[in-house]
C-alpha cells in the first residue's frame, strides 16, 4: 500500500515537472548525452544590471561558456513557464525590463509567477530549483545572497543559503558582497551542510568586488579537476545539499577595498533612511553602488561573472569526462 502511494507520487511529480519546465532542445540533448551544461541565473539580468548592459552581458557570458566547450542554459520564467536555456531573442525580451516587468523569483515567489503567467528573473535559489529538476549539476553567477548585516534583528537571510542546503547543485560565484555579514554567511552555510571552497591559490573567501574578505573559506581547491572530483563524490554519496566554489575577482578589475567599503557604508545608510527592505534591498544596493562608483562596479561585476562562467564551464567539462 505504502509502496504504491510513493510510486504514484513520484510519477505525478515527474509528469508535472516535465510539463512545467521548458528545456531548450540544445540543452536537453546535451544533458541526455552527458555533455557539459552550465546554468546561468537571470536576476542579474532583471534586477542586477541596467538595460541594455544586462542583455549584452548575458549574451557574452553565454559565449564564454560555449568557448570552453560547454552548453549555456540561462534560466528564467517566461509567461509563466520555467525555461531552461533561453534563446537570444528571449534574453532580449526579458532584459527589456520596462516591457517584461519581471518578478525577482526565489523559491517563495515561484508558484505565484507561474500561476499568474508573469515573467521572472530567477535568483540563485530559483535557479538551483530549475537545475535540480532538470539535472544540471553546476551553475555560475556573480555573487550569491547571504546573511545581511544586523540579521539578528532584521532576520534577513537570503533563501539562496537554505536552497544551497537542500539541493545537490554546485554554484560558482565570487563569494558574497560585503553588503552582507560574511562570517555569519559562512557559519550559516556550514549549518546548512554546504561545501564551501575558495578556488586557490588563495584560502581567503572573496568579497565580490575585492579578492579577500579577510575570512578563510573552510577549504581551498587548487584546480578545476579537483573541483569536479569533489562534485562527483558529493553526487555519488547522494548528499542532498549543495556546493559553493568561490572564485576571486580577476586582479585587473578588483576595486580598492577602502573605497568600496565607504561606498557600501553610504549605500547601506541610504537604504536605511529610505526604509528599503526584503527582496528590494539587494537590487537597491547594487544600483546605488554602481552609481556611487561611476559605473566602475558594473564593469567589475561583468568581468567577474564572465570569469566565474569560465571556471564553471571548465569544471563542467572535467565533470562530464569523469562521469562517463
Ligand atoms: N548578489 C550580487 N548580485 C546579484 C544578487 C546577489 O552580488 O545580482 C542577486 C542574485 O540573484 C541572488 C539574489 O540570488 O540577488 C539574492 O537576493 P536576496 O538577497 O533578496 O535573497
Ligand atoms: Mn532577503
**In this predicted model, what pLDDT tens digit does every residue of 101-115 receive, in sequence order?**
999 999 999 999 999
Nearest CA residue ID for atom 3, ligand 1 = 143
Instruction: Choose among 8, 319, 307: nearest CA to 140.
Output: 307
Catalytic residue among 28, 41, 90, 288: 41
What does pLDDT average to over the chain? 92
State the pTM of this model: 0.94
Instruction: Choose among 236, 245, 25: nearest CA to 134.
Output: 25
- pLDDT for position 98: 97
**32-66 residue pLDDT tens:** 999 999 999 999 999 999 999 999 999 999 999 99
* pLDDT bucket at 200, cuts 50 / 70 / 90: confident
If you measure from the C-alpha of residue 280 to the centroid of ligand 2, how many angstroms do you get, rounded to a whole number?
A: 8
- pLDDT for position 324: 64
Q: Is 60 among the catalytic positions?
A: no
251 Rama class: left (phi>0) / alpha (psi -120 to 50) / beta: alpha
Checking ipTM against 0.90, whether it exceeds it is: yes
* pLDDT bucket at 323, cuts 50 / 70 / 90: confident
Strands (E), the chain: 21-23, 37-40, 71-78, 81-84, 103-105, 120-122, 138-140, 170-173, 195-199, 219-221, 243-246
- pLDDT for position 17: 56
φ, ψ (nearest 5 deg) of residue 45:
-75, -45
Which cell goes with 263? 561606498
Instruction: Choose among 233, 161, 159: nearest CA to 190.
Output: 161
Amino acid at each position: 500500500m505504502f509502496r504504491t502511494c510513493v510510486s504514484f507520487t513520484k510519477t505525478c511529480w515527474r509528469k508535472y515537472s516535465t510539463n512545467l519546465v521548458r528545456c531548450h532542445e540544445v540543452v536537453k540533448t546535451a544533458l541526455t548525452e552527458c555533455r557539459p551544461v552550465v546554468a546561468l541565473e537571470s536576476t542579474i539580468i532583471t534586477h542586477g544590471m541596467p538595460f541594455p548592459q544586462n542583455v549584452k552581458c548575458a549574451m557574452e557570458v553565454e559565449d564564454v561558456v560555449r568557448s570552453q566547450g560547454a552548453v549555456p542554459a540561462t534560466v528564467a520564467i517566461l509567461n509563466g513557464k520555467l525555461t531552461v536555456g533561453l534563446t537570444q531573442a528571449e534574453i532580449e525580451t526579458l532584459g527589456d525590463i520596462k516591457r517584461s516587468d519581471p518578478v525577482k523569483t526565489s523559491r517563495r515567489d515561484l508558484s505565484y509567477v507561474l500561476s499568474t503567467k508573469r515573467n521572472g528573473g530567477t535568483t540563485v535559489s530559483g535557479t538551483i530549483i530549475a537545475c535540480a529538476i532538470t539535472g544540471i549539476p553546476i551553475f555560475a553567477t556573480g555573487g550569491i545572497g547571504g546573511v545581511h548585516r544586523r540579521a539578528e534583528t532584521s532576520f534577513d537571510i537570503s533563501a539562496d543559503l537554505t536552497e544551497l542546503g537542500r539541493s545537490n547543485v554546485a554554484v560558482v560565484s565570487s563569494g558574497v558582497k560585503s553588503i552582507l555579514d560574511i562570517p555569519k554567511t559562512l557559519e550559516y552555510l556550514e549549518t546548512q551542510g554546504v561545501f564551501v571552497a575558495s578556488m586557490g591559490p588563495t584560502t581567503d573567501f572573496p568579497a565580490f568586488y575585492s579578492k579577500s574578505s579577510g575570512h578563510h573559506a573552510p577549504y581551498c581547491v587548487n584546480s578545476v579537476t579537483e573541483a569536479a572530483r569533489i562534485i562527483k563524490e558529493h553526487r555519488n554519496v547522494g548528499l542532498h545539499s549543495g556546493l559553493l566554489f568561490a572564485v576571486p575577482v580577476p586582479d585587473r578589475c578588483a576595486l580598492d577595498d577602502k573605497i568600496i567599503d565607504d561606498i557600501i557604508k553610504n549605500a547601506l545608510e541610504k537604504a536605511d533612511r529610505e526604509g528599503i527592505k526584503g527582496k528590494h534591498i539587494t537590487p537597491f544596493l547594487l544600483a546605488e553602488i554602481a552609481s556611487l562608483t561611476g559605473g566602475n562596479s558594473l564593469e567589475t561585476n561583468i568581468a567577474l561573472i564572465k570569469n566565474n562562467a569560465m571556471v564553471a564551464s571548465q569544471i563542467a567539462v572535467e565533470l562530464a569526462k569523469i562521469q562517463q
